[in-house]
Structure formats: structure tokens, C-alpha cells
């Protein structure tokens, strides 16, 4: 089956996503720019040897691995799911339902002044947005969404550099 989906999207700013609860504010928002839906890697776990990590450590790991995950990307993924369920299943793996996907590029402030990030999570037979408090620990079910070819590109660059020695 050929995918007819427009493969490149540009996530909107958090304020335009319609996902911010009333009374909450945006602390920081770093939309990704253009993203190909077909080039997403859903497998990277920020929890390596530990069972849990705190929110600030998770944010540092997100930056180090160049994770995607703005609130605008979450909105785009949910919109895709609503409009094209079959294509969604090909882009977002079915076996991913045991995990939750952190959106570390947007930090929100709740009405009680807590810092949170959005997470895509499987609940009640569907993918939905939940907010995870950065003061709490993130479990080894957490995953980042990142470019699929990031590792392959780095390896290719190193090989090219080695050949040109």
C-alpha cells in the first residue's frame, strides 16, 4: 500500500497547538522545523542503566541526543492519527504501546507553578496527551522521538573522515 500522506510537516508553536490547558503558560518552546514522518525513530530510551531519572536529567539527555518532541509535533501526530489511521499505524509502531513518548522541547508551567512536559501515551485504547511533572521521575518506559538517520549519518561522516586521512 502506498502512503499518500504529505511526509513533511512543520510543527506549530505550542501556543497554537490547542493542547495547553487553560491557566497554564509556556516556559520554553523549541519547535523542530520541518520533519519527515517517515524518518522518525521511536526506540531511544533516555533511561540507560538506571530504572528512573529525574526530569532535569531527562531534559539534558534529550538535548544530547537531539530529540524531537515539541507540543506542536504532538499536535501534528494526533491530527495525523485522527485523519489517517492506517498511515498512522505504519509511522507509529504498534509495539510502542508499552512505552510513552516524552515531548521535551516544550516546557509548560501549570496553574500551581509546576513544570511539565507533554507525553504521548496509550490509554483507553488510543494515543492521547498526558502531562508529566519534571519534579517526578521518568521510568524506563520513557522514549524519545528522534531522526531515524542521526546515528547512520554520524557513522557515515566518521567513515568519510577516516578515508580522507
Per-domain residue ranges of the chain: 8-163
CA-to-CA distance for 63 and 80, rounded, in angstroms?
Answer: 26
Contact 8, 36 (CB under 8 A): yes
**Which pTM does this prediction carry?**
0.79
Q: Tens digits of per-residue pLDDT, 74-133?
A: 998 888 777 777 766 666 667 777 888 999 999 999 999 999 999 998 888 888 899 999
User: 3-class DSSP state for residue 65?
Assistant: coil
The single-letter DSSP state of residue 43 is E
Q: Check whether 153 has a pLDDT greater than 60.
A: no
Q: How many CB atoms lie within 10 A of CB 64?
A: 9
Q: What is the pLDDT of residue 17?
A: 94
Contact 40, 73 (CB under 8 A): no
Q: What is the pLDDT of residue 118?
A: 96
CA-to-CA distance for 63 and 69, rounded, in angstroms?
Answer: 11
* Mean pLDDT, the chain, whole residue set: 81
Nearest to 61 by CA among 50, 74, 73: 50
Amino acid at each position: 500500500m502506498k502512503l499518500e500522506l504529505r511526509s513533511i510537516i512543520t510543527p506549530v508553536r505550542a501556543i497554537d497547538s490547542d493542547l495547553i490547558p487553560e491557566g497554564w503558560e509556556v516556559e520554553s518552546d523549541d519547535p523542530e522545523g520541518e520533519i519527515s514522518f517517515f524518518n522518525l525513530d521511536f526506540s531511544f530510551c533516555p533511561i540507560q542503566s538506571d530504572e528512573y531519572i529525574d526530569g532535569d536529567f531527562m531534559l539534558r539527555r534529550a538535548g544530547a541526543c537531539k530529540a524531537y518532541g515539541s507540543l506542536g509535533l504532538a499536535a501534528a501526530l494526533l491530527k495525523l492519527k485522527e485523519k489517517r489511521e492506517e498511515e498512522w499505524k505504519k509511522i507509529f509502531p504498534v509495539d510502542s504501546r508499552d512505552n510513552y513518548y516524552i515531548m521535551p522541547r516544550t516546557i509548560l508551567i501549570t496553574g500551581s507553578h509546576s513544570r511539565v512536559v507533554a507525553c504521548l501515551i496509550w490509554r483507553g485504547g488510543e494515543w492521547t496527551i498526558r502531562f508529566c511533572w519534571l519534579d517526578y521521575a521518568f521510568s524506563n518506559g520513557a522514549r524519545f522521538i528522534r531522526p531515524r538517520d542521526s546515528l547512520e549519518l554520524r557513522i557515515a561522516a566518521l567513515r568519510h573522515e577516516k578515508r580522507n586521512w
